[in-house]
């Protein structure tokens, strides 16, 4: 019984080796057929078109990616522009508030003791024409 038990794994190993050899032989045969077929003009044209198709597909993917990146950049720049426009509007409001005539007049009176001249203090100087200057 011991000899029969040993012979079965040996037979299985031999069968496995035989199957592997047959598989390798089949793969070699198929690869030779494939390489022989690639020499035909139709197959070469087809392979060339497949290569062009793959390159074109990669180009589309890269282009779409760059487009998305540029769109995101555009959106962030537009947001920044809007922020600057808001700040500019606030600065214009502040400038108009600070330069109001009433405020300037009050500051001049408070800081420099200036006052609006009365009618009696205003002197009109006649305009001299170039002919009268001589």
| Residue 43 per-residue DSSP state | H
Q: Is residue 39 part of a domain?
A: yes
Q: Is residue 123 part of a domain?
A: no
Average pLDDT rounded to a whole number, residues 44-49: 89
| Model pLDDT, residue 134 | 52
The helix/strand count (H/E) of the chain reads as: 3, 0
Q: What is the mean pLDDT of the chain?
A: 87
Burial (CB count <10 Å: 0-12, 13-18, 19+), residue 8: exposed
Q: pLDDT > 70: what percent of the chain?
A: 91
Q: Is residue 119 part of a domain?
A: no
Range of the domain at 68: 18-112
Greater pLDDT, 63 or 9:
63
Average pLDDT rounded to a whole number, residues 88-98: 94
């Amino acid at each position: 019984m011991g000899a029969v038990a040993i012979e079965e794994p040996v037979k299985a190993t031999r069968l496995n080796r035989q199957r592997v050899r047959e598989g390798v032989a089949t793969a070699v045969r198929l690869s030779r057929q494939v390489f022989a077929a690639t020499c035909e003009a139709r197959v070469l044209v087809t392979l060339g078109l497949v290569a062009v198709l793959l390159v074109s597909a990669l180009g589309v993917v890269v282009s779409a990616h760059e487009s998305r990146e540029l769109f995101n950049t555009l959106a962030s720049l537009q947001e920044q522009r809007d922020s600057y426009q808001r700040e500019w509007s606030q600065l214009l409001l502040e400038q108009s508030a600070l330069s109001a005539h009433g405020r300037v007049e009050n500051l001049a009176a408070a800081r420099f003791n200036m006052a609006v001249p009365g009618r009696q203090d205003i002197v009109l100087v006649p305009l001299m024409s170039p002919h009268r200057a001589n």
